[in-house]
């Protein structure tokens, strides 16, 4: 049977229409949702993400303020910037783009973001809320992955979901989300990571396989079973002199071989990426609806 390509762009566009309606209702009440994005340094991938976030805010009519700070900014100054947005009435969501430069303590910075405006869901309070099964702001990539699975009718309930990667941004929050005893979640979850011996032993048992390893070719066809649903979270630049930019984007999964065995798979780009951005917009709308 032919593989289904999971079209994140199309699903994201559908959600944008719903959000646009909610934003219109907010505007009728005199409320314009506001998102503050803070970018520290010049990391090229982070710049691309931040630009895409701003563009999507503009498209939907969300007020956005992007603050670009030099890589050598002090932690104290960064915290001051967060405080400014914590108390700004026209800002409902705050996001600090990660990774941060090494001299800055990421945990301290994230903990400073008001729990009410933490649209990334990274503040330890919101992490804890998700972990005890009472999510408030769900981190955007895990939320986007769940939306994609539901949209295509791949319900995780009772399924074995194997996640490759234990990051605080994807692997751990996604595992907590899928573990919830609610309809549309309720999965059996395995998390694999760099300390896992024989990764293929685990990935080949997955009915749904989510790969957020940060490494191209981390999963190949021999490591998956026939009929698996594959969600590739990786975004890697690989040199390609045939393109004008000199590189192309690939995921963590060897798409050509794995798509021969999979029932469905996300492309890179155009799979998870657009969903992450739209879920950030959704969390910002939720913040504006609840903070006013
Ligand atoms: N860096 C990579 N993904 C993310 C994300 O979802 N949020 C933030 N703030 N930084 C990131």
Mean pLDDT of 5-20: 98
Closest CA to 25 of 56, 59, 61: 61
pLDDT of residue 198: 98
Tokens of 42: 């010049």
Q: Which atom of ligand 1 is nearest to the CA of 96?
A: 9
Cβ distance 238 to 250 under 8 Å?
A: yes
Q: Per residue in 34-54, pLDDT tens?
A: 999 999 999 999 999 999 999
**Three-class secondary structure assignment of 139-172:** CHHHHHHHHHHHHCCCCCCCCEEEEECCCCCCHH
Cβ distance 210 to 264 under 8 Å?
A: no
C-alpha 125 – ligand 1 centre gap (Å): 17
Closest CA to 156 of 182, 177, 176, 186: 186
Residue 238 neighbours by CB distance under 10 Å = 10
Half-sphere exposure of 82 (CA within 13 A, CB side): 24
Q: Is the pLDDT of residue 1 over 80?
A: no
**Which residue in the block uniquely carries the two structure tokens 């430069």?**
101
Q: Give the C-alpha separation, 264 to 83, whole Å.
A: 44
Q: Which atom of ligand 1 is nearest to the CA of 140?
A: 6
Residue 236 in 3-state DSSP? strand
Which residues are designated catalytic? 53, 97, 120
Tokens of 22: 């909610």
Instruction: Please tell me the residue having the least CA distance from ligand 1 atom 2.
Output: 98
Q: Which atom of ligand 1 is nearest to the CA of 139?
A: 6
C-alpha 2 – ligand 1 centre gap (Å): 33
Strand partners, 264: 4, 229
C-alpha 95 – ligand 1 centre gap (Å): 8
Tell which one of 95, 111, 214 to mutate to probe ligand 1, the residue whose CB is within 8 A of the most ligand atoms. 95
Q: Per residue in 207-246, pLDDT tens?
A: 999 999 999 999 999 999 999 999 999 999 999 999 999 9
Closest CA to 82 of 146, 255, 91: 91
C-alpha 34 – ligand 1 centre gap (Å): 18
Instruction: Please tell me the residue having the least CA distance from ligand 1 atom 11.
Output: 98
Q: Give the C-alpha separation, 55 to 243, whole Å.
A: 24
Instruction: Please tell me the residue having the least CA distance from ligand 1 atom 1.
Output: 98
Instruction: Please tell me the residue having the least CA distance from ligand 1 atom 4.
Output: 98
Q: Per residue in 103-146, pLDDT tens?
A: 999 999 999 999 999 999 999 999 999 999 999 999 999 999 99
> What domains, with CATH codes, occur in the chain?
31-115 (3.40.50.10860), 140-272 (3.40.50.720)
Report the percentage of the chain scoring pLDDT > 70.
100
CB neighbour class for 147 (10 Å; exposed up to 12, middle 13-18, buried from 19): buried
Q: Give the C-alpha separation, 174 to 141, whole Å.
A: 8
Angstrom distances, CA of residue 252 to CA of 7, 168, 210, 219, 266: 17, 18, 10, 7, 11
**Which residues have any ligand 1 atom within 6 Å of their CB?**
95-98, 120, 140-141, 169, 276
> Helices marked H in the chain — which ranges?
8-28, 44-60, 75-86, 106-112, 124-131, 140-151, 171-179, 199-203, 255-258, 272-291
C-alpha 260 – ligand 1 centre gap (Å): 31
Tell which one of 50, 98, 170 to mutate to probe ligand 1, the residue whose CB is within 8 A of the most ligand atoms. 98
């Amino acid at each position: 049977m032919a593989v289904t390509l999971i079209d994140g762009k199309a699903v994201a566009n559908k959600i944008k229409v719903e959000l646009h309606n909610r934003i219109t209702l907010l505007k009728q009440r005199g409320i314009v949702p506001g998102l503050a994005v803070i970018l520290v340094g010049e990391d090229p991938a982070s710049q691309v993400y931040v630009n895409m976030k701003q563009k999507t805010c503009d498209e939907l009519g969300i007020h956005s303020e992007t603050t670009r700070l030099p890589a050598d900014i002090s932690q104290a100054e960064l915290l001051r910037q967060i405080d400014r947005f914590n108390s700004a009435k026209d800002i409902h969501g705050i996001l600090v783009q990660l990774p941060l430069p090494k001299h800055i303590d990421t945990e301290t910075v994230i903990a400073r973001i008001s729990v009410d405006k933490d649209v990334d869901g990274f503040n330890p309070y919101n992490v804890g809320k998700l972990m005890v099964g009472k999510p408030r702001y769900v981190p955007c990539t895990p939320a986007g992955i769940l939306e994609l699975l539901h949209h295509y009718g791949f319900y995780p309930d009772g399924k074995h979901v194997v996640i490759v990667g234990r990051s605080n941004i994807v692997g751990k929050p996604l595992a907590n989300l899928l573990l919830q005893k609610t309809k549309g979640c309720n999965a059996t979850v395995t998390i694999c990571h760099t300390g896992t011996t024989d990764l293929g032993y685990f990935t080949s048992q997955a009915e749904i396989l989510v790969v957020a390893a940060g490494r191209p070719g981390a999963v190949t066809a021999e490591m998956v079973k026939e009929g698996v649903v594959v969600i590739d979270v990786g975004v890697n630049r690989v040199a390609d002199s045939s393109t004008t930019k000199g590189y192309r984007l690939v995921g963590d999964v060897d798409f050509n071989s794995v798509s021969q065995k999979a029932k469905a798979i996300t492309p890179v780009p155009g799979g998870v990426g657009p969903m992450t951005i739209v879920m950030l917009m959704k969390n910002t709308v939720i913040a504006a609806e609840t903070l006013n």
